[in-house]
């Protein structure tokens, strides 16, 4: 909500200035996740092409989707996550990419493109921007103090009620992204993470209901700071976010040591992708922007900054050692094999999980 | 006299004056409400916009109407979540309005009884917070109430709290009450003040001359005379608080259940626009119907 209001103001301001600047100036309106790019990449793009970037950010897929489905969003490039992308393609939100305008496609990583094809068959509508995992972020010292010297490598650390009870006093956060949390819980109890059967989804919900009395917060952006300043000691979170929390704690020198782990049971692998809305006004500029981001050295700069892996194979030689060799960012073959993707929920399953999720969050 | 009456009947200006508010209501209330009501009768779909059927023109209107049904309303009655959310919102709004009256009435009374020279200053002080964005003011409360926030620092510095103790108010219902009462206080004080200010003070002098103690004079004279202000203030606060979304979202915890948040989840999380519309229509009915009945009663009393 706060984001919406701020964004509306920002939009109104840009609308006023851009109409004043007349139509001869080439612009592209980009709508990306917050904290998700090295700002200098945008400046480089303008320097190289003369196209001005109007950059706007969001922090939830749901908000983007609602805007896109209502139509006339005014954006030329948006960055939805896999299952949302798939549903939006089906709803007719996006236009097919003109691949003749995207010569840098040859740099892409076939492994990522293949997995992305689950959401976008034939890779016709979208190009991967970044990808990552949803795992466990934790405060090394506080978790050790609460649970003793046991390895943190399994979802048990959070999902076993006796562990959760011991961690309660130091602060548990659960990511407020029900599509992912249900898949993770179903995978944990040995069910198909991609199941859309109501009974399986409810069984997944049970995992959270059992630990609910011990959970302090459900959020998907404030937890970065809370983990960094020690208010939260363990969270389900997105890989890059946790690594950002780690970096912030190191910068602050507050004695908080944060780490990220991909649990051995496997977890959800997600893809954030660049796509062009069907009603985009600056289609040529949008293609130029996407093509620019697929330059190996450009996307490597972004990855080095946000600490997320990208779907560009050729970029890997430009990526800093500390990022490329970090198994939390670029997992090894064995871990990659255990990561799963999920297809979009149909309306019936969606209603079940959102209903369950509200019940879990409100402790009903 | 009869002549002027006749001309005022036919005076085109008169129709304009009456017509403008009705036109306003038609364009900005009735039309959106009908659109919402129509969406509440449709079904979700993976499409733009995400529901079906959409209105395709009057040629296919029979087909269009036949696809509408009340399924969403039935779903709302089956699931206790929605009833609980409505009840919980009404409870929050009722408690908040009560607190607002308790705090706002003495404030308004003090303002009305203050020397007339400083009244404009006092009035200004009530209105002044509006000069800052509502969102920023609610954010400021996060800074005050969070565990390592200003309130904790204050209590620690005056020695009431030990160094390890922190205020645990942020992300609870208490924080929501604080935020609501703070944000809505001017809306309660202003109608009360305007009712109290108009009061004839000679009535109180007469009461005291006849031996009536001040507290009794307050209940027998001041309060009944201020009743229109009490009712206006309570309604102006109660109605928006019931549907409040921003304050519980920013200050409340995960367990704060309010219909505004439920509506948000249905609309954004579920992208179930039809069900969200049904929730909104019922919320409107739940608020409007009692008010209309109340208004009618008032009319009869007069």
- Per the prediction, chain A carries an average pLDDT of 90
Interchain pair A231, B148: CB under 8 A: yes
Q: How confident is the model at residue B19 (pLDDT cuts 50, 70, 90)?
A: confident
CB proximity list for B205: less than 8 A, separation 6 or greater: none
Asked if A245 and A278 sit in the same domain, the reply is no
End-to-end CA separation in angstroms for chain A: 24
Domain borders along chain B are 84-261
pLDDT for A311 equals 94
Asked if A315 and A350 sit in the same domain, the reply is no
β partners of residue A312: A108
Domain count, chain A: 2
**Which two structure tokens, joined as six digits, stand for A221?**
């952006």
User: Looking at the domain assignment, is residue A336 inside a domain?
Assistant: no
Q: Which residue has the tokens 């087909």?
A: B63
Asked if A259 and A275 sit in the same domain, the reply is no
- Identity of the residue in B46, B84, B245 whose CB atom sits nearest the CB atom of A1: B245
Question: How many other C-beta atoms are found inside a 10 Å radius of the C-beta of residue A228?
Answer: 24
User: Looking at the domain assignment, is residue A335 inside a domain?
Assistant: no
User: Looking at the domain assignment, is residue A158 inside a domain?
Assistant: yes
- Alpha carbon dihedral A279, A283, A287, A289, in 10-degree steps, equals -90
For chain B, how many residues are written? 302
- CB-based contact (8 Å) between B165 and chain A? no
Q: In this structure, which topology does domain B84-261 adopt according to CATH?
A: MetI-like fold (1.10.3720)
Is it true that the peptide bond before B53 is cis, omega within 30 degrees of 0? yes
Asked if A166 and A258 sit in the same domain, the reply is yes
CATH number, domain containing residue A145? 3.40.190.10
DSSP string, A37-90: S-HHHHHHHHHHH-PEEEEEEES-HHHHHHHHHHS----SEE--BHHHHHHHHH
Say which residue, A130 or B47, is predicted with more confidence: A130
How much is the pTM? 0.80
Q: At what angle do helices B2-10 and B12-25 cross, to 10 degrees?
A: 50
Asked if A58 and A112 sit in the same domain, the reply is yes
pLDDT for B97 equals 97
Q: Which residues of chain B neighbour A92 with C-beta distances below 8 Å?
A: 47-48
Q: Are A65 and A88 in contact (CB under 8 A)?
A: yes
Task: Give percent of chain B with pLDDT exceeding 90.
Answer: 50
- Identity of the residue in A71, A355, A364 whose CB atom sits nearest the CB atom of B48: A71
pLDDT digits (tens, 9 = 90+) for A276-315: 999 999 999 999 999 999 999 999 999 999 889 999 999 9
Question: How many other C-beta atoms are found inside a 10 Å radius of the C-beta of residue A124?
Answer: 13
- Cα–Cα dist B67/B53, whole Å: 7
Asked if A248 and A149 sit in the same domain, the reply is yes
Asked if A178 and A112 sit in the same domain, the reply is no
> In which domain, by residue range, is A25 found?
2-132+271-330
- Cα–Cα dist B213/B158, whole Å: 42
**Which two structure tokens, joined as six digits, stand for A239?**
């890989």
β partners of residue A264: none
Asked if A176 and A119 sit in the same domain, the reply is no
Q: Are B79 and B285 in contact (CB under 8 A)?
A: no
Asked if A216 and A282 sit in the same domain, the reply is no
Q: Which residues of chain A neighbour B246 with C-beta distances below 8 Å?
A: 1-2
A41-50, A284-293, B155-164: the lowest-pLDDT one:
B155-164
Q: Which residues of chain B neighbour A350 with C-beta distances below 8 Å?
A: 270-272
Q: Are A220 and A245 in contact (CB under 8 A)?
A: no
Residue B47 per-residue DSSP state: S
User: Looking at the domain assignment, is residue A254 inside a domain?
Assistant: yes
Asked if A170 and A299 sit in the same domain, the reply is no
For residue A238, which of A359, A130, A115 has the smallest C-alpha distance? Answer: A130
Asked if A216 and A347 sit in the same domain, the reply is yes
């Amino acid at each position: 909500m706060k984001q919406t209001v701020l964004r509306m103001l920002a939009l109104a301001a840009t609308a006023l200035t851009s109409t004043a600047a007349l139509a001869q100036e080439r612009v592209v309106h980009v709508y990306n996740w917050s904290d998700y790019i090295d700002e200098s990449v945008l400046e480089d793009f303008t320097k190289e092409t003369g196209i001005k970037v109007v950059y706007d950010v969001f922090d939830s897929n749901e908000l983007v989707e609602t805007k896109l489905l209502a139509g006339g969003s005014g954006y030329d490039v948006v960055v939805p996550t896999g299952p949302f992308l798939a549903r939006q393609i089906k709803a007719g939100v996006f236009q097919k990419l003109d691949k003749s305008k995207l010569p840098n496609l040859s740099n892409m990583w076939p492994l990522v493109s293949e997995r992305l094809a689950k959401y976008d068959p034939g890779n016709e509508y979208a190009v991967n921007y970044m990808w990552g995992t949803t795992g466990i972020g934790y405060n090394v010292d506080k978790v050790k103090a609460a649970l003793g010297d046991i390895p943190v490598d399994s979802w048990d650390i959070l999902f076993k009620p006796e562990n959760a009870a011991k961690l309660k006093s130091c602060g548990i956060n659960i990511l407020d992204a029900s599509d992912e949390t249900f898949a993770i819980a179903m995978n944990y109890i040995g069910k198909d993470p991609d199941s859309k059967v109501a009974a399986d989804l409810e069984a997944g919900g049970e995992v959270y209901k059992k630990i609910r009395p011990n959970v302090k917060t459900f959020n998907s952006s404030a937890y970065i700071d809370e983990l960094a300043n020690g208010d939260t000691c363990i969270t389900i979170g997105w890989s890059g976010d946790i690594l950002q929390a780690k970096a912030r704690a190191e910068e602050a020198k507050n004695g908080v040591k944060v780490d990220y782990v991909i649990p051995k049971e496997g977890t959800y692998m997600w893809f954030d992708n660049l796509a062009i809305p069907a009603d985009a006004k600056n289609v040529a500029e949008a293609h130029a922007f996407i093509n620019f981001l697929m330059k190996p050295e450009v996307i490597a700069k972004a990855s080095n900054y946000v600490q997320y892996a990208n779907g560009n194979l050729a970029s890997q030689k430009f990526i800093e050692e500390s990022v490329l060799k970090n198994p939390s960012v670029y997992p090894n073959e064995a871990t990659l094999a255990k990561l799963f993707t999920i297809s979009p929920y149909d309306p019936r399953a969606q209603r079940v999980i959102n209903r369950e999720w509200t019940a879990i969050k409100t402790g009903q | 006299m009869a002549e002027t009456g006749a001309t005022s009947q036919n005076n085109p200006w008169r129709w304009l004056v009456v017509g403008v508010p009705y036109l306003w209501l038609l364009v900005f209330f009735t039309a959106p409400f009908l659109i919402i009501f129509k969406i509440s009768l449709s079904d979700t779909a993976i499409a733009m916009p995400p529901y079906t059927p959409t209105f395709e023109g009057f040629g296919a209107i029979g087909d269009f109407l036949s696809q509408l049904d009340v399924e969403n309303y039935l779903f709302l009655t089956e699931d206790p979540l929605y009833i609980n959310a409505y009840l919980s919102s009404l409870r929050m709004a009722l408690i908040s309005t009560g607190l607002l009256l308790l705090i706002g009435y003495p404030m308004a009374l003090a303002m009305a009884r203050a020397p007339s020279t400083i009244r404009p200053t006092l009035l200004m002080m009530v209105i002044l917070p509006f000069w800052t964005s509502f969102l920023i003011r609610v954010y400021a409360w996060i800074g005050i109430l969070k565990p390592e926030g200003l309130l904790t620092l204050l209590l620690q510095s005056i020695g009431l709290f030990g160094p390890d103790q922190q205020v645990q108010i942020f992300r609870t219902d208490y924080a929501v009450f604080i935020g609501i009462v703070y944000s809505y206080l001017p809306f309660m004080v202003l109608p009360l003040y305007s009712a109290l200010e108009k009061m004839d003070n000679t009535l109180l002098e007469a009461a005291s001359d006849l031996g009536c103690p001040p507290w009794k004079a307050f209940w027998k004279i001041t309060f009944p005379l201020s009743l229109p202000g009490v009712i206006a203030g309570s309604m102006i606060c109660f109605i928006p608080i019931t549907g409040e979304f921003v304050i519980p979202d920013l200050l409340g915890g995960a367990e704060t259940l309010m219909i505004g948040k439920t509506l948000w989840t249905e609309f954004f999380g579920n992208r179930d626009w039809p069900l969200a519309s049904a929730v909104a229509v019922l919320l409107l009915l739940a608020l409007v119907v009692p008010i209309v009945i109340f208004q009618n009663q008032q009319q009869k009393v007069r």
